[in-house]
Chains A and B, each alone.
Chain A
């Protein structure tokens, strides 16, 4: 991570709670669908919000392997928790979206009608540094390859990102190990650092012209050096309280040379191949296509939906699945996320958000897995090879 500093061009500002409310209002007035964290059924999720009142004030998350619950804070911080089960891919890469409808007329002429993108652009409020990196990672897949995904591109281009810097990493967080946090450094329009002290205020950094433009509509004052110190202090606190650590050096080569490591078999015995990790992971992007006929209209439709490498038919090719065993599928996920993703897309696939550890029903911990493989580098599973 670079030497800690706030963005200085333009200079950081400060807003108070009224300013936070105003931010939501300004974004809505400008036509954005504002999506932010809110409490639902015992979790903090990302939903459309109408006002800052809907933020989970005074709540935090307790996270450990296979453990997630909300707890009351002793203050009313609006962003006093790390990340919940959802990530922003719910909005940028929805779990189910129709791509087009097709008609064939009596003469057999065909027309493909693509679906329109969402009417309103999204303003994503409360994007953690890990999730900013996750969005950038998915940008590389969908925008920076030979082909641009139309739906992702439309949602992404219009999206306004308000990052929020972490003061309370979760028990499973390891962004510092992955070089993806805890401080947001780029890729946002505005970044807030919440300071709950004598004054409940937010230090605001501007990351884009769009962000600067919105800031002008808020009653912001210039940040003092105390404000800046307090903001940096939040980050120091977060680094000190990081829940997990993992040596991330040279993971690609480590995993490439340990593809038959016995640890895969051992852990696969615990793995239910439920796919929770792929659902909650902010970078997992695999999708499948459903081509259907709609009887009522006679039209054919193509839908795109989330898929998971943990499902048996994910790798189905005439005759059977290439990865029939849970060992093969668990290995695929882990080695792809931390290793071959780098070969395929030039970055790691992991941002250290810890969701997979929290939401694995049997508590498989990727940091523990990688450490175990590193410590027994070179062992070979002879039974399964």
Chain B
């Protein structure tokens, strides 16, 4: 999986554990526990490619790895969709516009959009997993002619947990993209599908022999989704997933994110499923 060349740091003597300052330009709530922050650089720009992540630092609270949720901006503007699950993400989700936070990055491997050229592109997102996949969706819509077909399958717990609702409408409105959404449960005012996201796979229109699938969501969702794709005949080596582990540095120096032979910050977070499956099968590896 490719890691793009790093942009030259503004100051070559700045250590890789030292953040660059960024200002929060805006904060928008997506759901009850998830918000999207738009950031502008105050120093060196950080430009993550689809699939990559940054370490976001909330002053005095801590740092967490968050994937980019937008197309790469050479000027360094960043968009991160963050779910409140701990002290640091809580602080970030509640950061007022105008506040300065720290950013380190970009780190990690990218969604295999180059490799997917000419193929049927299938994007399967579960819950917050849509946030790291959105840059891939943007790329696919922007360069639609690079792909034979584009199919986006989304799952969420309930309708109020769906991200980027306004954008989903615009994606659904396109004739050259298939978009299917399902939720685990809903109220009667929901007229869409109720069921688990894997149920969308048997009926989606793509040719398994010519498909590259990008899958992101909780690990168990990715495992079941991969199985459903395999059942339809998509080869393991054509399914890309995004893994997550405890990260303290993002540099391959702290040891925390290792999973068997790989370091998720350096060799991932995007991996092909054939390499990951044997590791994911071992409990507590």
**In the complex they form, do A and B come into direct contact, defined as C-beta atoms under 8 angstroms apart?**
yes
- What residues of chain A have their CB less than 8 Å away from a CB belonging to chain B? 99-100, 102, 104, 108-112, 114, 141-142, 145-151, 256, 259-260, 285-289, 291-293, 300, 302, 304, 307, 309, 314-318, 322-325, 327-328, 331-332, 335-336, 339-340, 343-344, 384-385
Contact of A110 with B249 at beta-carbon distance under 8 Å, contacts A99-B15, A150-B15, A287-B255 already known:
no
Q: Which residues of B contact A325 (CB under 8 A)?
A: 284
A110 touches B266 (CB 8 A): no
Cα-based distance from A224 to B60 in the complex (angstroms): 62
Contact of A110 with B63 at beta-carbon distance under 8 Å, contacts A146-B252, A322-B284 already known:
no
| 30 A-B pairs (CB sep. < 8 Å) | A99-B15, A100-B17, A104-B59, A108-B100, A109-B42, A111-B21, A145-B266, A146-B6, A146-B252, A147-B252, A148-B16, A149-B15, A149-B17, A150-B16, A256-B261, A259-B285, A287-B248, A287-B253, A289-B63, A291-B62, A300-B60, A307-B248, A307-B254, A307-B255, A315-B245, A315-B256, A327-B284, A344-B252, A344-B261, A385-B283
B60 touches A286 (CB 8 A): no
B21 touches A112 (CB 8 A): yes
Q: Which residues of A contact B63 (CB under 8 A)?
A: 289, 291
Q: Which residues of B contact A327 (CB under 8 A)?
A: 284
Q: Which residues of B contact A259 (CB under 8 A)?
A: 260, 282, 285
* Further 17 A-B residue pairs, CB within 8 A, beyond A323-B284, A335-B260, A340-B258: A100-B18, A108-B100, A109-B42, A146-B252, A147-B252, A147-B253, A150-B16, A286-B254, A289-B17, A291-B61, A315-B246, A315-B256, A316-B246, A322-B284, A328-B284, A331-B284, A340-B260
Is B102 positioned at the interface, with any CB of A under 8 Å from its CB?
yes
- What residues of chain B have their CB less than 8 Å away from a CB belonging to chain A? 3, 6, 14-19, 21, 23, 42, 57, 59-63, 85-86, 98-100, 102, 244-246, 248-249, 251-256, 258, 260-263, 266, 282-285
Cα-based distance from A276 to B253 in the complex (angstroms): 21
Q: Which residues of A contact B258 (CB under 8 A)?
A: 336, 340, 344
A150 touches B17 (CB 8 A): yes
Q: Which residues of A contact B263 (CB under 8 A)?
A: 344
Q: Which residue of B lies closest to A151 (CB)?
A: B15
Cα-based distance from A251 to B86 in the complex (angstroms): 39
B253 touches A149 (CB 8 A): yes
A292 touches B251 (CB 8 A): no
Q: Which residues of A contact B14 (CB under 8 A)?
A: 114
Q: Which residues of A contact B18 (CB under 8 A)?
A: 99-100, 112, 114
B266 touches A314 (CB 8 A): no
Cα-based distance from A339 to B258 in the complex (angstroms): 13
Q: Which residue of A lies closest to B3 (CB)?
A: A146
A109 touches B21 (CB 8 A): yes
Contact of A318 with B17 at beta-carbon distance under 8 Å, contacts A109-B42, A287-B255 already known:
no
Q: Which residues of B contact A385 (CB under 8 A)?
A: 282-283
Contact among B42, B244, B255, B285 with A285 in the assembled complex (CB-CB below 8 Å) = B255
Cα-based distance from A235 to B82 in the complex (angstroms): 59
Contact among A150, A304, A343 with B262 in the assembled complex (CB-CB below 8 Å) = A343
Cα-based distance from A328 to B248 in the complex (angstroms): 20
Contact of A114 with B99 at beta-carbon distance under 8 Å, contacts A292-B60, A315-B245 already known:
no
A-B interface, 3 closest residue pairs, ranked by CB to CB distance from nearest = A343-B261, A150-B15, A328-B284
A286 touches B256 (CB 8 A): yes
Q: Which residue of B lies closest to A335 (CB)?
A: B260
B102 touches A108 (CB 8 A): no
B251 touches A289 (CB 8 A): no
Cα-based distance from A321 to B260 in the complex (angstroms): 16
Q: Which residues of B contact A148 (CB under 8 A)?
A: 16
